[in-house]
Amino acid sequence: MAAFKARAGWVVHDSHLLYGVAGVAITNFDYSGSFGCAFEETRDGFLFGAGWEGKISERGSLFVEYNHLESDTETNPCTVLGFLPTHTEAEADLDTVKLGFRYRLGN
């Protein structure tokens, strides 16, 4: 997944940051359904989420962030049992949670 997002938040007690994120994202999905129907496609959509970051030293912090990618439902051609042409609707939303450590270089 590639994302372009903005982050805005509020500092709480000088060492905690609560924030929201919003933007756009693009990702690749592999779909595998019943009776041999399978396809791969690239989806884009709106991304939104929220997070927390806590300072643990002058340069280091821990964070947790939730993101939700919302994309439209699309109808895709498919072949069932290897020879029957059909169409299938695929909804491709994605939820992610990131945990991490940030270290700031420089002064």
Using alpha carbons, select from 49, 92, 86 the residue that is nearest to residue 72: 92
Give 86's strand partners: 78
> CA-to-CA distance for 1 and 69, rounded, in angstroms?
10
Taking a C-beta distance cutoff of 8 angstroms, is the pair 40, 30 a contact?
Answer: yes
pLDDT tens, residue by residue, 63-79:
999 999 988 877 777 77
pLDDT tens, residue by residue, 27-43:
888 877 767 777 788 88
Q: Over the chain, what is the mean pLDDT?
A: 88
pTM attached to this predicted model: 0.77
DSSP track, 7-27 = EEEEEETTTEEEEEEEEEEEE
